[in-house]
A and B are shown apart, each in its own frame.
Chain A
Amino acid sequence: MATEPATETTLQGPAAWEAEAEREHVHGLGPWKLGLRRLRRNKIALLFGFLFILLVAACIAAPLWADKVAKTTANANHLSDTITVDGKEKNVVGLDGVPVGPQWWKADGKFFLGADRNGRDIMVRLLYGGRNSLEIGVVAAVITTILSIILGLVAGYFRGPADVVIRALLDVMWSFPVIILGVALGVALALGGLKLGPIKLAGDSLAIPIFIIGLVYVPYMARPVRGQVLSLREKEFVEAARAQGAGPIRIMFTEVLPNLASTMIVFFTLLIANAILLEAALSFLGAGVQPPSPSWGTMIDEGVDRIATAPHLAVVPGVMLVLTVLSLNVFGDGVRDALDPRAKVRLER
C-alpha cells in the first residue's frame, strides 16, 4: 500500500511569514517596494484607480467636448433653440418648462445627457463642473495635509505647552458642527467676499469653499499624525540624530516626516473623496460654489429642486460624483492595505 504524501503542514506566526518571504522572494525589499507589489496584486483597487484617472481626464478634456461635439459652452442658454432628433424638430426646453432628457447620439452629441431648465447642455456642465469639484477636492486636501502635518509635528515633537495649545485648538475645531460652520462662512463670504489686508477674494471665488473644506478636516488628520509623531520621537534613529547634534527642525523634517509618508498618502486619497462630498453638501445648502459656475454639488442642488419633472438633472451629476468618490475610496483602501494594513484611517461626518 502506497504511503500517502505527507500533507502540507500549515505554518502560523513568524514561521509562516518567513515561509512566505522565501516563496515570494521579498528578502531585502524595502517597505515601498513591498507595498507597490501588494498594490499591484489588488486588481480591484487598480481598476478603480484607473477609473479615477479616466474621470479626471474626461474633465480636463471638457473644452474639447464643448467645442467639437456639443458646440456650446457651460453657461450658454438655449432656451428657445431646437434640436433635430430622428428628422423631427424638438424644443430644448418644452413650452411647459421641462427640458429634454438625455439624447445620447441622436442629436450628434448635442445634449448628450439632456438640458437643464435654461437649456444649458448637461454634459458640458458636468465636465466643467467636475473641474471645479476636483479642483476643490485636491486643493482642499493639500491644505488639510499641510496644516495637519505642521500641527501634528509640532504638537507631537515638542509636547508640553505647544501640545496643550494645539490639542485645545483641535478639540474646538472637532466640536464645531462642520456643516453649520461651513455654511455660515460660505454664506457670509459669498455675500461680500473677503478683504483681509492684502488678501482679496470675490464672493464667487472657488478659494472660499476650498479654504473652508481644507480647514474642516484638519483635526481628523492632525490627531493621528500627532499620535504617530509621539511614538516616532522615542525611536532609536531619532535619538541617534539628536546625538549627532541635529536640531528639532532638522529631526522633524529629515527623520520623522519620511516615516509619516504612508499615512499621508492614504489620508490624502481619502481626503479628496471627502472634500468632494463636503463641497456637494455645502453647495446643496447654497454655501459652496456660487451659480452660475457649475460644480457637481450645485448641479445636484438644481436637480433636486426639479426632480419631479426632470429627474435626469439630479441623477446625472450624482452618479458622476458617486463614481468619482467611490473610485477614490476603493483605491485609497487598496493603498492603505498595501502600505500599512493595520492602520485604522477613518474620515467622516
Chain B
Amino acid sequence: MGRFIVRRVLQMGFVMFAVSLLTFFIFNVIPNGDPAVRMAGRQPTETQIEAIRKEWGFNDNIFVQYFTMMKKVFTGDLVSYFTQLPVGDEIVKGLPRTLSLAIGAALLWMFVAICFGLYSAMRAGKFADRFLTIIALIGISMPVFWIGALMNYYLGYKAGLFPNGGYVEFSKDPIDWAYHLILPWTALAILFIGFYSRVLRSNVLDTINEDYVRTARAKGLTERQIMVRHVLRNSLIPIVTLWGLDFGAVVGGGAILTETVFDLQGVGQYAADAVGQLDVPPVLATTLFAAFFIVLLNAVVDIVYAYLDPRIRLQ
C-alpha cells in the first residue's frame, strides 16, 4: 500500500511539472504574445520596451525564465504583468468563493441525483422513469452559463426572488451567503444531476438482480431496508468515485463559467480575466492551481480504491 501511494504521488508530481511546462511554453511560443510590447502602453518607444524586457527578464534564456517563474510560484512572489498585483493574494482572495460554490453545488447535486436515480430505478420503464430520464437529458444538454444567465434574469432581476449576482462572505452573514449562492449552486448542479441520476439508475438496476439482494428479500427484510442497505450502498461506489473526480474538476476550472455569469469573483473568474489579457503569471498560477485539484482528487480516488480493492495496487 505504501509503495502504491508513493508511486501515485510521484505520478502527481510529474503531471504537475508537465502542465506547468506546457502552459509556460504555449504562451511563449504563440505569436503576438510579447508581454513587453503590451505592457509598455500605447505607442511605446523601442528603448521603453527594451527597458521593460530587461527589468522583467524577458531577454533571458527561455529555460531560465521558466525556472525563475516557477521559483516565484513556490515562494509566492509571482506578480501579474498588467495589474502588478501579487498573484498569490488574488488566488487566496478567490479561493473561499470558489470553494463555497463548489462544495455547495456538489452536495446539492449528489443529494438530488440520489433521489432522482433511486426513484427512477424503482419505477423503471414507467412514466415517472421516462419523465426523469428526459429531464436528466435536458439537464446535460444545457450550457451552464446560459441557464445561469436566464435564472439570474428571470428569478433574480424580474421576479426579484434572488439577489442579482455577487458574493457575501460566510463570516459576515451565513444566511445572506447562502441566499446569494442558491442560484449559482443550482445552475452548476443541474448538469451533474443529469449525469449522476442516470449513472445511479443503471447501477441500481444492475445491483437489483444480484444474488445477495434476493437473499435479503428471502430473509424477509422490508423493501426499504433492502433498498437502502443492500442496493443503494453498493450502487453508490462508482458514484462516489465520480463525485471525487468531478469535485476536483469543478474547483479546477469547471466553475469558471458559473463564477463569471454570477460575478462571484472566484479563482475561476480571475483565471478567465487573466487569460483574456494573456497575462502569463496569473494564467500559469491558476492553471497549476486547477491542475493540482484535478490531480489531487484523481490520486485520492485511486488510493481509496486501492485500499478497498487490493488487486489494483499490483497494476
Nearest Cβ distance between residue B245 and chain A, in whole angstroms? Answer: 9
- A322 part of interface (Cβ distance < 8 Å): yes
Expressed in whole angstroms, the minimum distance between the Cβ of B246 and any Cβ of chain A is 8
Within 8 A of A (CB), among B92-138: 137-138
Determine if A177 and B272 form an interchain contact, defined as CB atoms under 8 angstroms apart.
no
Segment at the B interface, from A100-108, A190-198, A239-247: A190-198
Bits for B139-169, please: 1 = Cβ < 8 Å to A, else 0.
Answer: 0111111100110110001000000000000
B18 partner, pick from A172, A187, A349, beta carbons under 8 A: A172
Q: Which residue of A lies closest to B31 (CB)?
A: A192
CB distance from B137 to the nearest CB of A (A): 5
Knowing A171-B15, A188-B26, A284-B257 are in contact, say whether A177-B191 is a contact too (CB < 8 A). Answer: no
Contacts of B153 in A (CB 8 A): 307-308, 311, 314
Most A-side CB within 10 Å, residue of B26, B153, B253, B271: B253
Of A174, A176, A308, the residue contacting B22 (CB under 8 A) is A176
Q: Is the CB of A330 within 8 A of B32?
A: no
A195 with B146: CB separation less than 8 A: no
Nearest CB to that of B260 among chain A residues? Answer: A285
Instruction: Kindly provide the distance from the CB of B259 to the nearest chain A CB, expressed in whole angstroms.
Output: 11
When distances are taken between beta carbons in the complex, the residues of chain A under 8 Å from B272 are 179-180, 183, 285
* A residues near B152, Cβ cutoff 8 Å: 307
- Say yes or no: B275 contacts A180, CB within 8 Å: yes
A177-B290 contact, Cβ under 8 Å, with A171-B11, A318-B143, A325-B141? yes
Q: Which of B66-74, B170-178, B218-226, B291-299 contacts A (4 or more CB under 8 A)?
A: B291-299
Residues of A within 8 A of B181 (CB): none
B256 contacts the other chain (Cβ, under 8 Å)? yes
- Contact check, A185 vs B26: say whether CB atoms are below 8 A apart: yes
| Known contacts A188-B278, A315-B150; is-contact A177 B291 (Cβ 8 Å) | yes
What's the minimum C-beta distance from B29 to chain A, rounded to whole angstroms? 9
Interface of B is mostly: helix
Interface size bracket, B side: 35 or more
Chain B residues closer than 8 Å to A195, beta-carbon distance: 31
Contact between B145 and A300, CB atoms less than 8 A apart: yes
Mask for A279-314, Cβ within 8 A of B = 1, else 0? 011001111000000000000100010011001001
B197 at interface (Cβ–Cβ under 8 A)? no
On chain A, the residues within 8 Å of B260 by CB distance are 284-285
Interface size on A, residues (CB 8 A): 49
User: How far is the CB of A198 from the nearest CB of chain B, in Å?
Assistant: 16
Interfacial residues of chain B within 18-32, with CB under 8 A of chain A in the complex? 18-19, 22-23, 26-27, 30-32
Residue of A nearest to B254 (CB): A349
* List of A residues within 8 angstroms of B244 by Cβ: none
Contacting residues, chain A, for B142 (C-beta < 8 A)? 318, 322, 325
- State how many angstroms separate the Cβ of A330 from the closest Cβ of chain B: 6
Identify A322's interface contact among B15, B22, B138, B199, CB under 8 A: B138
Are B141 and A314 in contact, CB atoms less than 8 angstroms apart?
no
Contact status B291-A314, CB under 8 Å: no
Query: In the complex, what distance in Å separates the CA atom of A176 from the CA atom of B154?
Result: 35
Q: Which residues of B contact A189 (CB under 8 A)?
A: 30
Q: Is A142 close to B, CB under 8 A?
A: no
Specify which of B141, B146, B157, B295 lies most central, judged by the most chain A CB atoms within 10 Å of its CB.
B146
B253 touches A179 (CB 8 A): yes
Q: Does A23 lie at the interface of the complex (its beta carbon under 8 Å from any beta carbon of B)?
A: no
CA distance A92 to B143 in the complex (A): 29
Contacts of A281 in B (CB 8 A): 143-145, 257
- Contact between B31 and A194, CB atoms less than 8 A apart: yes
Collect the chain A residues with CB atoms within 8 Å of residue B11's CB: 171
B141–A180 touching, CB < 8 Å: no
CB proximity of B213 to chain A, nearest CB, Å: 14
CA distance A207 to B272 in the complex (A): 22
Residues of B within 8 A of A24 (CB): none
Contact of B86 with A by CB under 8 A: no
Say whether A349 contacts B257, CB under 8 Å. no
Cβ of B14 within 8 Å of any chain A Cβ, yes or no, is yes
How long is the Cα–Cα vector from A285 to B256 in the complex, in angstroms? 9
B265 at interface (Cβ–Cβ under 8 A)?
A: no
Smallest Cβ-Cβ distance to A311: which chain B residue: B153
Identify the closest chain A residue to B252 (Cβ). A177
User: How many Å from the CB of B182 to the closest CB on chain A?
Assistant: 19
Binary CB contact string for chain B from 189 to 212 against chain A (1 if under 8 A, 0 otherwise): 001000100010010000000000
The reply to whether B256 and A180 form a contact with Cβ atoms under 8 Å apart is: yes
Task: With A172-B18, A314-B149 as known contacts, state yes or no: A346 contacts B138, CB within 8 Å.
Answer: no
Residues of A within 8 A of B32 (CB): 188, 191-192
B249 within 8 A of partner (CB): yes
Any B CB within 8 A of the CB of A321: yes
Residue A348 interfacial (CB < 8 Å):
yes
Q: Does A184 contact B (CB under 8 A)?
A: yes
Of all chain B residues, the one with the shortest Cβ separation from A279 is B143
Judged by a CB distance under 8 angstroms, whether A329 is at the interface is yes
Q: B287 within 8 Å of A by Cβ?
A: yes
> Do A314 and B146 contact each other (CB < 8 Å), given the known contacts A176-B287, A333-B137?
yes
Q: Which residues of B contact A193 (CB under 8 A)?
A: 31
Question: With A191-B33, A326-B137, A349-B249 given, can you name 9 additional A-B contacts, CB distance below 8 Å?
Answer: A188-B278, A191-B278, A300-B143, A300-B145, A304-B149, A307-B152, A314-B153, A315-B150, A333-B137
Interface residues in chain B, defined as those with a beta carbon under 8 Å from any beta carbon in chain A: 11, 14-16, 18-19, 22-23, 26-27, 30-33, 137-138, 140-146, 149-150, 152-153, 157, 191, 195, 199, 202, 246, 249, 252-254, 256-257, 260-261, 271-272, 275-276, 278, 283, 286-287, 290-291, 294-295, 298
Contact sample, A vs B, 9 pairs, CB 8 Å cutoff: A172-B18, A180-B256, A184-B27, A184-B283, A188-B27, A188-B30, A281-B257, A318-B143, A349-B254
Top-7 shortest CB links A-B: A177-B253, A192-B32, A177-B290, A192-B31, A326-B141, A325-B141, A188-B30
